[in-house]
Amino acid sequence: MKVSRRFQLSVHTILFIAVYGDEKGLTCDYISNELKCNPIVIKNILNLLCRNDFLIKVPSTSSIKLKKDVKDITLWDVYKITDEVNIKNIFCSDDLQINNPIISDLPELLVTPFEKVMSCIKDTLSKVSIDSLLKQYNY
């Protein structure tokens, strides 16, 4: 399994806003410049985070702030909005033309083990808050 770049950038963006949000008026351009990332990518990440109630855009100052407390944002919360969580959609074999019943039923056979894996991932990521990550780095 891979972790998407969008998940990594979303976590990085939330951490950045948590650390620097009160000191500066954070804008999309400022964040993208600091994270050395394309402004359109950061804009899309910010919009995703806003749509899912992680951030708020302050119109009077054009700045971005966290809407939730860092203790209330877990890695699982971020993962759910950035990566595919539906186990039944992780297999890319629907275009294979295989007549062997063992091979053609393989995705169905693997759903249960992968559901267990996702349950472990959910349990682990749910225990890690943005606050705990910040504390690891003494912020």
- The CATH number linked to 79 is 1.10.10.10
Convert the pLDDT of each residue in 63-74 to its tens digit: 889 999 999 999
The pLDDT-based confidence of 3 (bands split at 50, 70, 90) is: confident
* Higher-scoring residue by pLDDT: 27, 107: 27
Convert the pLDDT of each residue in 73-97 to its tens digit: 999 999 999 987 666 666 655 555 5
The percent of the chain in helix, strand and coil, each rounded to the nearest 5, is 60, 5, 35
Judge whether residue 1 has pLDDT over 90: no
Decide: 84 and 139 in contact? Cβ < 8 Å: no
Judge whether residue 2 has pLDDT over 80: no
Decide: 127 and 74 in contact? Cβ < 8 Å: yes
pLDDT of residue 84: 72
Q: How many domains are contained in the chain?
A: 1
Q: Residue 66 has what DSSP assignment?
A: E
pTM over 0.85: no
User: HSE on the CB side for 123, CA within 13 Å?
Assistant: 6
Alpha-carbon gap, residue 115 to 86, rounded angstroms: 9
Print the domain residue range for 66: 5-136
